[in-house]
Chains A and B, each alone.
Chain A
Amino acid sequence: MAAASPARELTQNPLQKTWEPYDNGLPAGHSAQRGVCMTNCPTLIVMVGLPARGKTYISKKLTRYLNWIGVPTKEFNVGQYRRDLVKKYKSFEFFLPDNEEGLKIRKQCALAALNDVRQYLSEENGHVAVFDATNTTRERRETIYKFGEENGYKTFFVESVCVDPEVIAANIVQVKLGSPDYVDCSNDEATEDFMKRIECYKNSYETLDETLDKDLSYIKIMDVGRSYLVNRVMDHIQSRIVYYLMNIHVTPRSIYLCRHGESELNLKGRIGGDPGLSVRGKEFAKSLAQFINEQNIKDLKVWTSQMKRTIQTAEALGVPYEQWKVLNEIDAGVCEEMTYEEIQENYPLEFALRDQDKYRYRYPKGESYEDLVQRLEPVIMELERQENVLVICHQAVMRCLLAYFLDKPAEQLPYLKCPLHTVLKLTPVAYGCKVESIFLNVEAVNTHRDKPENVGVDRSREEALRTVPNHL
């Protein structure tokens, strides 16, 4: 029997409060943090489909989702490479199958894009690359697959198949008419040219085949999500991607985000807790009810957290609402119900650490923004499934949700402005999201604390508290 080897000592990371083993005072291997999902080898997602089938829409949305859940992802749009190389787009003739010059340039662009993919995945710590191009021939897909194999990437194809002329026409109007390719054309000219462009691809289009492509990993999306064919899902990340793609839709709708009305603790500058609404908070709830009525929203769903202040706000609306525990405010652990001044007084080191990396910082016995994002993922998934929804939540929670919709990176997320008594109306448009900010004319305290200039642990009390908003 081998002698028992002494277990390594554990040290607690002061920022994230996670326990890590160390050897000779340095962090050692053997321990991995499960953020959301660990991807072992990088993944190359390859879009497949005729023009105007939503490939770029899916690429961008999927990239946004993966980055939000913490998987470094980047999209590579070959059309963009083509625009950079061929300064001025003339007409669909560039895409004719017998246009030698065009073919040469297009292949060059694809290779340039793949080169950047390789750099991103193998040198820049990217986990997932989305290769957004038509990739409609088996030959092109084999080239990409081989490229993936050579570099140790797993390849996953996402094909979008659609024959509904209305959908295609709508896509063209939404995203093609405004494309840099058609900046000097009338809408009719652009549409006509684009339809001819699609024709160029049709003859050589080889859709993913159940027999010929049976060993590839892919999802085939048919008619904007009416049905899906899923083949050989290899791992966790592919499974999550499939689940996400199967839950998104393109039906027009709006998402309304707001915080609870001003609370008693807000007034005193205290964080967390489970207080009720202040007088002004109750006024806001009534204004919110009026606002919602005026908006005349079809089949609006209303969601709250399980904390009193959001529920009280929803109560004023007089409509059914659903409570989600996962929408509860970030848990500030030992700092619950303290003012920033008290936190500085009692935990000056923690206070400084938080300012150094607000996204990853975890309150002692509490949570971090990073934890919050993981907690909120099912909310995002359900928001994708739903249509018109009003989410009444909290400052940190709203920042996380907003960062998802507006594609804000982790560094910016904890500083997004989400003031009390203000509704953000999000409407998907083209490849992104239109935001309208509506202040409901009921005064409230400001709870937003900007990042102070001095985040060092040896800063003065005054420097630490300089950006604290006023309170009672």
Chain B
Amino acid sequence: MSAVPRHGGPPRGKVGALRGGEKKCSWASYMTNSPTLIVMIGLPARGKTYVSKKLTRYLNWIGVPTKVFNLGVYRREAVKSYKSYDFFRHDNKEAMEIRKRCALVALEDVKAYLLEECGQIAVFDATNTTRERRDLILNFAKENGFKVFFVESVCDDPEVIAANILEVKVSSPDYPERNRENVMDDFLKRIECYKVTYQPLDPDAYDKDLSFIKVINVGQRFLVNRVQDYIQSKIVYYLMNIHVQPRTIYLCRHGESEYNLVGKIGGDSGLSPRGKQFAQALKQFIEEQEIVDLKVWTSQLKRTIQTAESLGVTYEQWKILNEIDAGVCEEMTYAEIEAKYPDEFALRDQEKYLYRYPGGESYQDLVQRLEPVIMELERQGNVLVISHQAVMRCLLAYFLDKSADELPYLRCPLHTILKLTPVAYGCKVEMITLNVEAVNTHRDKPSLNSRMAGLTV
């Protein structure tokens, strides 16, 4: 859903949404009433930063301005060089002072983000393992009118913890020499320092009135308490669907279509001869990859289905993977659109993310439409998604944390596969161009000069 008026007023078309100074408001953003402070809780190496970053990426993608505040970063600013786990001993008074000061500085930044910078959600990523620290945060939130939602990660599986340390701690700025054994040793001692004073959330007594989710053993079990509103409900649903099993996601477009050849957008045309070649090449590529239990998804438009057909495997059709609906501009070339609807054409170049085709959709609409796909991709293992240019841009923006401004200009050429593999806190991307020629369907944002000169790119 695109920008919505809060009060009665004349119905605004998409143009109204673009007038100066307005936020790129999505439905999810609109439904988030007061600012929310998400507070992570857990011993080190329990996945707090992983969850913080992933959740932030998801919330920003659905249109809720969110930012992570990682206390470790503040600490590294204050104490230029990390020496050893001794810093974290609970009887190290000097260090405790520094750590508390860092927390207060971080909270000031949270306040600025939520009250002055139009942020809606702040994720406070720190151990927050004592009641004392959490009470401090609750008071801070109360003073400023923020809702608080705790996310606690509890894990006692030593294998998971060791794997986490290897994945993200060995390469931390705290350990520049990167000697695995030393890092493991020091870090495990660091964890012991926290264990002494760790007070987990107590749903039966002390913390029964707080809103929180306790994630146990990487998602095997969850305890959810007092979800207050829409956005907390969505956060819980998201956290319950993500997993950390290694897997790979393949994104590509349908093979070159008949319409691609003549520069027409949209429609439901079939593959061109080169498009069919691509489908064969895709089949070979997939076979060579030797992927375990690969799921294949397509849209309900002929060109993606034809592409999947060549693979000779079972595939699922999703209507919501259909290409962006260009409304009255369906099946026209860009030249025809510019000639027939010059104002629309110009508007789209000004604000490609928010711009909605008359009788059609915008990229913002597309993101909303695709949210169930993202949710299901999070649940799944190895998946190949055969979709379309605008759709693939939206999906890619989610995985690579691209902003709404960049999203409509991401490069997703025909006959090219993007192989995404989750690694550490992000996603590794490999671009594989299958050796079959195709037209280029990418349109950059025209520069001011070329626009004024009436040139089309």
Give the interface of A toward B (CB within 8 A): 1, 4-5, 7-8, 10, 12, 18-19, 21, 29-34, 38, 210, 214, 226-233, 236, 239, 242-243, 246-247, 306, 308, 311-312, 314-315, 317-326, 365, 371, 374, 382, 385
Contact = CB atoms under 8 A, between A and B. Distances in A.
A312 B11 contact: yes
A315 B376 CA distance: 38
Nearest to A21: B309
Interface string B341-368: 0000000000000000000000001001
B88 interface: no
A236 B241 CA distance: 9
Chain A binding surface, main DSSP class:
mixed
B272 interface: no
A226 B8 contact: no
Interface string B1-26: 11011111101000000000000000
Interface in B191-217: 203
Contact of A322 (B4, B220, B226): B4
A324 B221 contact: no
B241 A325 contact: no
Given A38-B316, A227-B225, A246-B237, 13 more contacts: A4-B280, A10-B302, A214-B221, A227-B226, A229-B221, A230-B240, A236-B379, A308-B11, A317-B8, A323-B4, A374-B319, A382-B230, A385-B230
B226 A226 contact: yes
17 contacts: A19-B305, A30-B315, A31-B305, A31-B314, A32-B317, A226-B225, A227-B224, A229-B221, A236-B376, A236-B379, A239-B237, A239-B379, A311-B11, A317-B8, A324-B1, A371-B319, A382-B230
Contacts of B240: 230, 233, 239, 242-243
B176 interface: no
Given A246-B233, A325-B365, A314 B222 contact: no
- 3 closest Cβ contacts across the A-B interface? A7-B309, A227-B225, A230-B222
Interface in B110-139: none
B260 to A, nearest CB: 18
Interface in B18-75: 27, 30-31
A326 B284 CA distance: 40
Interface string B98-120: 00000000000000000000000
Given A30-B314, A31-B305, A18 B8 contact: no
Contact of A19 (B223, B230, B302): B302
Contacts of B279: 7
B227 interface: yes
Contacts of A311: 11
A228 B220 CA distance: 14
Nearest to A302: B8
A18 B314 contact: no
A382 B8 CA distance: 22
Contacts of B320: 374
Contacts of A29: 314
B310 to A, nearest CB: 5
Contacts of B9: 315
B319 to A, nearest CB: 6
Interface string B229-253: 0100100110011000000000000
Contacts of B306: 7, 10
Interface in B275-330: 276, 279-280, 283-284, 297, 300-302, 305-306, 308-310, 312-320, 330
B425 to A, nearest CB: 24
